[in-house]
Chain A
Amino acid sequence: MRVNGKGLIDRSAPVGFTFDGVRYDGFEGDTVASALLANDIRLVGRSFKYHRPRGVLTAGSEEPNALITVGRGAEAEPNTRATVQEVFEGLEAVSQNRWPSLGLDLMAVNDLAAPFLGAGFYYKTFMWPRAFWEKLYEPVIRRAAGLGALSGLPNTDRYERAWAHCDLLVIGAGPAGLMAALVAARAGLDVILADEDARMGGRLLAETHAVAGKPGHGWVAEVLAELSSMENVRLMPRTTVTGAYDGGTYGALERVGHHRPRDDARRPRECFWRIVTRRAILCAGAIERPVAFRNNDRPGVMTAGAVRAYLNRWGVAPGRTVTVFGNNDDAHRTARDLVAAGVHVAAVIDSRPGVTLEGFRVISGAEVCNASGAKALESITIRHQGREEKIATDCLAMSGGWNPSVHLTCHMNGRPTWAGDILSFVPSPGAIPGMDVAGACNGAFSTAACLREGAEAALRAAEALGKRAAMPDLPLAEDDPYRIAPLWHVPGKGRAWLDFQNDVTVKDVKQAAVENFRSVEHMKRYTTQGMATDQGKNSNVAALAVLADATGRGIPETGTTTFRPPYVPVSIAAMGAGAEGPGFAPQRFTTSHKAATERGAPMIEAGLWYRPSYFPAPGETTWRQACDREVAMVRNAVGICDVSTLGKIDIQGPDAAQLLDFVYTNTFSTLAQGRVRYGLMLREDGFVMDDGTTARLGEQHYVMTTTTAAAGLVMKHLEFVHQCLRPDWDLSMISVTEAWAQFAVAGPKSRELLNGLLDQPIDDATWPFMSCGKIAVQGIEGRLFRISFSGEHAYEIAVPARYGDSLFRLLVARAEGMGGGLYGMEALNVLRIEKGHITHAEIHGRTTAFDIGMGRMVSQKKDCIGKTMSERPGLMDPERERLVGLRPVGAVRQILAGAHLFNEGDAAVRVNDQGYVTSTCFSPTLGDTLALAFLKRGPERYGEKVRMVDHARGVETLCEVVNPVFFDPEGGRVRG
């Protein structure tokens, strides 16, 4: 219920929202949790395993119980913490993990079976029969357990990622963080202040403390006003720093759209920030821990600090008759604030003896040992001086003390230190390079101490960054001592809950110890304590205290489990933002792309490039028809193909020729100007890296061609060679791939076509096979190379890329007028297989020059990269699988790439493997299936028969081993 006159919500701005289909009212500034509590809604969810009714436990991002699904359909966001989700007009929220409804959850039958379902139950019970696990047990368990469900629909929401840079990142905007940011900003540092709350101020918004004589939130507003007026400060509310990484980099998740209606589809839901900073100050505060006692999970049992927060920040009394239970002085504040606000406090139960307080009933030296009420708390039972007493109450505010939020300090494998005086772990100094710690997360719990530590940390940061800063006059604030006595769990019968989110009880942890899972890491895995969305923020320390007790060790000896990023759940969509759909990878389009798609060419991806597969003609219904036609066109007339995607590297300088001789197996220093040579390049380990042609354009000027897929690899290789192996060589290298639009003009009529276009006609004498030089088309200067991948009389013509589209259309029109036309990648592949030319299907990284029949291309007159390694005995072994051609000889005419080869009469099993097929096609030129393959002693076996067996597709074909050059082996056609 709302409490008049309390809270920082805007009562002039009512907001309507629905929960499980029922409309409720809240105010601007409310979270779903505060608005539901204001409407007296206690039951908000069902627990993970036993489907126990659960209510709001906390008021922050650590909330384990109040998980809701926001939105519907593809927009539904499961596992949203109601304590974080702000209300806005039209918000639709539903409860989770219940069927058919939250009030009547049939899966709650699990709770009755609880004696059988304790920790380790699955491991022990579902071992046998083995096959049942996947088919029966797991599906059933998965159906019964769990949190919210995904919609199963593609996510249509936008997310984003961004970078930010600063001198100082302050994590958390409570008193320590605000003070740190203020001091650092005044000293001139570039400051980012990130806070996960929608409203900055931390506990100062949740308490009634005065700061500098003003209400805490008033002081916060003044500081924020000053900070926002400074150009060197960036305030990032709703931003949770999720992880600390190397080099001063922090991950952070900003909620951008979650708190607003979906009125702009372009607005991201979340932004995942990578913040790079020189220094950081962690001011993450502390999280209150519950006390474990029987039925302490009843809706209405909350942490004491949360009850205070709902009262002071949101003007909500979570109950009409509240009891307080704690082991520390801080819990008393809850009772005082409630009474001051006119809320009835039935009793304050303090586990410590001798506590006296004014204004309400105090039961000192007592413990709460049970809670009653099914879907909402009705009463508690206390144990005092050996007697039990029942107290009627609808809200219990409990406090087992506060745990500093040390998480981020442990992200680089640092371990926190036990501080016996506050019964908590505190950060170990220097755990994250460049990160300082201040305030409650450092174990300084009073407001005055937070302000002081924040200022001091900022001074250290300023000094480290060479800025001068003075200690400011700290505002006057409460400096109450934090007195606490150990109380982890209240002994007794029944289930006392430690981890609300994973339904782990004190008994489960003790059972782990009994079963010898005594290490805290083993206990965690055995019981699942500390898993799921809250990652044990509420339960870790209490659970390990119970474990310590059960194993007879102290808490520091027991230690903590490993804290890992992210601090709060981060959607995968945020981490991968922008990389879906066309953002997955850059798309590279040739200048002829538009013209090719206009002709209906299906595209295939080669590297990042999109290349036309084939060009369907009217009446053609299959790719094969188009492909056969295109091949015949090239063999009989002239074909046009965009080959701009091949890598082109411009190499110039006095030592350019030396570089080529060093990286290629064959020699290029002897290549005449105006000539082109085919080259083979090895990796350092002696295997083939790439192949291609290199043209000599001038005395010290070459242009190297690489395959499409290996262009980047070869460029990197050349840079490595130049920078690391031969930095003494004077030369220049730069990619010119994209500067030129280059088209293959292939076929017997290629020269005739070109001569209709070129400003100066060409002939065999001036442009023999493997020549190159400058040409011009209508005054536009370009380059011409007489080279051939198809085995036909062919050229590649290159013009500046801006003219690519225009020249392409021109070439196609001319070709079509001569009985030719376009050909795509399918036809290109057939043409090269007919000629036995290799691609990366053959030079796939495990083949040598020897294997592909180019052993003699490794020059004996000079050294080259990979030469020595390629001469290792194992790589020159005639038994190696070497390149051959295959043709079918039996009734089955199909040869399939990837199939393996076996000798006739051998069983088709691994040990009899003779090789494998790499490329295959139907050759319209030869009217049969052709294939390239690697076969043991291949070239020595021409004329033999081998069995091709494709185990995956169930095809077996008898093949004859032949020379891989199927068509025009003399090479007469290429010379025209």
Chain B
Amino acid sequence: MVELIAKSACDGLLPKTIGSLTLSEAAPEAITSVTPFRGQEAAVSEALKAQIGAAWPAPNRMTGRAGARVVFSGRGQAFVLGPRIAPIAGAALSDQTDAWASVELSGTGAADALARLVPIDLRPGVFRQGHCARTLIFHMPGLVMHTGQDRYGLMVFRSMARTLVHDLESAMEAIAARG
């Protein structure tokens, strides 16, 4: 009898704590992309509220809470990070669960470490909690989410997990070594 064994995207790479910062894998139960078809935006938002209690987000915003978020992920598209959702009439869904390496960077100075890699304005008054952005994480396209005080969620393509950890580790070390 054979059995397929699941491995996470950052298997063997995380967690890491350097100085005041901790980097850990934070893969949601499922990642589902949702794209409403024309004129279906409101209905899809209602369907999401009914299924996971979070509405369709505005651009660069996320709704919901940890464990059940809807995150803006591009033009007319959002990712549901949370439980696997049932098909929604009027929307294209795709299972993205295994397509991403999801990590969390937390601790005092997390934004400073990210500023080594991410070009957008991360000042707490500008990139507030609940904000998100499709942007660059050093050389990689990714998704950055401000999930809490000194707490950020980061997603890049699964295959780039090692580079993500390498780049973040370098930034964390540089911050720690400033002393």
Contact = CB atoms under 8 A, between A and B. Distances in A.
Nearest to B95: A739
Given A165-B121, A268-B177, A652-B92, A588 B159 contact: yes
Given A266-B176, A588-B160, A730-B38, A778 B94 contact: no
B162 interface: yes
Given A801-B98, A801-B99, A803-B4, A256 B163 contact: no
A588 B161 CA distance: 8
Contact of A276 (B76, B121, B158, B177): B121
B41 to A, nearest CB: 12
A723 B120 CA distance: 25
Nearest to B137: A586
B98 A163 contact: no
B96 A736 contact: yes
Interface in B27-83: 33, 35, 37-38, 75-77
Given A578-B167, A802-B6, A653 B96 contact: no
B170 A578 contact: yes
Contact of A805 (B7, B76, B77, B162): B7
Majority secondary structure of chain A interface residues (helix, strand, loop or mixed): mixed
Interface residues of A, number: 57
Contacts of A190: 123, 125
A799 B178 contact: no
A812 to B, nearest CB: 13
Contact of B99 (A578, A590, A737): A737
Contacts of B6: 802-803, 806
B8 A802 contact: yes
B140 to A, nearest CB: 5
A436 B60 CA distance: 33
Interface of B: 1-9, 33, 35, 37-38, 75-77, 92, 94-100, 115-116, 118-123, 125-126, 138-140, 156-163, 166-167, 170-171, 173-174, 176-179
Q: Which 7 A-B pairs have the closest CB atoms?
A: A732-B92, A267-B177, A732-B35, A801-B98, A652-B92, A588-B159, A739-B99
Nearest to A729: B38
Given A266-B173, A736-B94, A739-B99, A653 B37 contact: yes
A610 B161 CA distance: 14
Given A583-B138, A734-B94, A806 B157 contact: no
A17 interface: no
Given A650-B94, A803-B5, A805-B7, A586 B163 contact: yes
Given A730-B38, A802-B6, A264 B179 contact: yes
Contacts of B179: 264, 267
A393 B38 CA distance: 87
A806 B4 contact: yes
A591 B96 CA distance: 16
Given A162-B115, A163-B119, A266-B177, A587 B163 contact: yes
A578 B97 CA distance: 29
A472 interface: no
Interface in A911-944: none
Interface string A777-806: 110100000000000000000011111111
A276 B76 CA distance: 29
B4 A589 contact: no
Interface string A586-624: 111111000000000000000001000000000000000
A802 to B, nearest CB: 4
A590 B7 CA distance: 12
Contacts of B4: 777-778, 780, 799, 803, 806-807, 810
Contact of B3 (A585, A654, A731, A778): A778
B179 to A, nearest CB: 7
A757 interface: yes
Contacts of A804: 7
B178 A256 contact: yes
B177 A264 contact: yes
Given A160-B170, A164-B115, A806-B7, 16 more contacts: A160-B174, A161-B116, A163-B120, A267-B178, A268-B174, A587-B163, A588-B157, A652-B35, A730-B38, A732-B35, A734-B33, A734-B96, A736-B94, A778-B4, A802-B6, A803-B7
